[in-house]
C-alpha cells in the first residue's frame, strides 16, 4: 500500500518555524533575558504570524514580517513591564552594561551606538545579532530599504569617527 503525502511542501509557517525559531529565541532573549518570557513571546509571534496568514496576508519578505511582529511584541512587553513595575523607561546611555569589557574601543563604540537614534540601534541589532538582510530589516521596521542602508552606514561612520578622534 502506498501512502500519499498530502502536504509534501511544508507550509510557509512551518518553514518559518523551522528556520527562525532559534533566531527569534535569541531576539527575545537579548531583550527580555533567558526564561519563560522569551519562550512565550516566541510562541506569540508565531501565533500572530499564523493569524496574519490565515487572514490572507501575503508578506513580500516573510522573515522580515515575522521579525516585525516580534519587534511589536517586544515593545509591548517592555511597556507592560514598565507599567507593572513602575520602572523608568529604558535609557541606553545610563544602562548598565550586560557584559563588562576591558576593551576601551568596544566601550567607546557602545557609547557611540547608545547615542544613536532608537531605530538605528534596532537596525544594527537586527543586522548583526539576528543576521537579517537590508530587505528583511526594512520589512520588520516598516521603513524603506534605502533608509536601512544609509542609517547603517552612518552608524559605522560614527563609530569610526569616535575611534579616530580618540586615537589622536
Partner 1 sequence: MKPETLHALIIDRELGELTPETAELLELHLARDAQAREEAERILASLELTREAVLRHPELARVPVMPAEKKIERKPRRYHFPLWLARAAAVALLAGSLGFFAGRTGSSSVAESGLVQPASTFNKESPWARYRMTFDPAGEGMQVVRVDTERLKLPSMP
Which residues would be at the binding site for partner 1 (CB under 8 A)? 30-31, 75, 78-79, 82, 89-92, 95-99, 101, 105-106, 109-110, 112-114, 118-119, 121-122, 124-125, 127-129, 133-134, 149, 152-153, 155-157, 159-160, 163
Q: Per-residue DSSP letters for 99-124? A: S--S-HHHHHHHHHHHTS-HHHHHHH
Instruction: Please report how close the Cβ of residue 89 comes to partner 1 at its closest, in angstroms.
Output: 5
Measured distance CA(61)–CA(130) in Å, rounded: 15
Nearest CB to partner 1, comparing residues 5 and 91: 91
C-alpha cell at 91: 535609557
**φ/ψ of residue 15, rounded to 5:** -65, -45
Within 8 A by CB and 6+ apart from 92, the residues are 113, 114, 121
Please state the closest distance from residue 11 (CB atom) to partner 1, in A: 28
Q: What's the closest the beta carbon of residue 35 comes to partner 1, in angstroms?
A: 14
- Tell me whether residue 31 or residue 63 sits nearer to partner 1 (CB atom): 31
CB of 118 to partner 1, least distance (A): 4
What's the closest the beta carbon of residue 34 comes to partner 1, in angstroms? Answer: 11
| Burial (0-12, 13-18, 19+ Cβ within 10 Å), 163 | middle
| Residue number with CB closer to partner 1 (17 or 163) | 163
Cα–Cα distance for residue pair 57/48, rounded to 1 Å = 11
State which residue, 14 or 111, has the beta carbon closest to partner 1.
Answer: 111
Q: Which is nearer to partner 1, 10 or 90 (CB)?
A: 90
Please say whether the dihedral angle defined by the alpha carbons of residues 118, 48, 29 and 125, taken in this order, is positive or negative. Answer: negative
Amino acid at each position: 500500500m502506498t501512502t500519499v503525502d498530502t502536504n509534501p511542501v511544508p507550509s510557509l509557517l512551518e518553514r518559518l518555524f523551522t528556520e527562525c525559531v532559534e533566531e527569534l529565541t535569541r531576539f527575545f532573549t537579548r531583550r527580555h533575558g533567558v526564561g519563560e518570557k522569551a519562550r512565550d513571546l516566541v510562541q506569540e509571534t508565531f501565533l500572530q504570524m499564523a493569524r496574519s496568514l490565515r487572514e490572507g496576508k501575503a508578506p513580500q519578505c516573510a522573515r522580515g514580517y515575522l521579525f516585525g511582529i516580534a519587534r511589536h511584541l517586544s515593545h509591548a512587553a517592555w511597556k507592560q513591564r514598565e507599567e507593572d513595575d513602575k520602572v523608568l523607561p529604558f535609557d541606553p546611555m545610563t544602562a548598565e552594561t550586560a557584559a563588562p569589557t576591558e576593551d576601551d574601543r568596544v566601550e567607546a563604540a557602545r557609547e557611540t551606538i547608545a547615542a544613536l537614534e532608537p531605530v538605528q540601534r534596532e537596525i544594527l541589532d537586527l543586522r548583526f545579532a539576528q543576521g537579517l538582510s537590508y530587505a528583511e530589516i526594512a520589512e520588520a521596521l516598516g521603513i524603506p530599504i534605502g533608509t536601512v542602508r544609509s542609517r547603517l552606514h552612518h552608524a559605522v561612520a560614527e563609530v569610526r569617527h569616535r575611534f579616530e578622534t580618540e586615537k589622536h
